[in-house]
Amino acid sequence: MAFEKASDAKILATELVKRMNEDMRRIRILEERLDSEESRMRNIEETVLDQIETLRINVDRIGEKLDNISERFKGMDSEIVRLNRELGKTATKSEIKTLENFIDILNPITSRFVTKDEMERAIEDKRKT
């Protein structure tokens, strides 16, 4: 019976050692997984921080471009106002047409002038009638 107890104790001790070794192996695997996950998380955090910085820089650039575009629009707006004032000073289409008619009337090439003799005859003819 003492032999059986010693043998049982030895078997029990061996079984405990096996279980403890198995538990230690599992703990090491879990620690390795945890280290791996922590490393991945650090990499993800660094990537996210880099992307946030890149986005911030891009947003700043876009803001600067929008400011430049806004300034250009202001300049164009003032130029349009100036051009409208200048257009107000120019002749209208009807005024130009009137000038063309006056020029046509006074144009010696296309106009027919009356001589003094022709005028006197025309006056005499009118008096007679």
Alpha-carbon Rg for the chain, nearest whole angstrom, is 54
What residue segments make up the domains of the chain, in order of their start? 91-129
Q: What is the mean pLDDT of residues 112-125?
A: 86
CA-based torsion, 75, 81, 83, 85: positive or negative: negative
Q: Which two tokens stand for residue 97?
A: 């047409």
Close Cβ partners of 99 (under 8 Å, ≥ 6 residues apart):
91
Residue matched to tokens 């430049």:
68
Name the amino acid, one letter, at 82.
Answer: R
Q: What share of the chain is helix, strand, coil (3-state, %, to 5)?
A: 90, 0, 10
Please tell me the predicted confidence (pLDDT) of residue 19: 95
| pLDDT 10s digits, 63-93 | 999 999 999 999 999 999 999 999 888 888 8
3-state secondary structure of 109: coil
102 in Cβ contact with 94 (< 8 Å): no
Please tell me the predicted confidence (pLDDT) of residue 45: 98
* Residue percentage of the chain with pLDDT more than 90: 61
| pLDDT 10s digits, 15-45 | 999 999 999 999 999 999 999 999 999 999 9
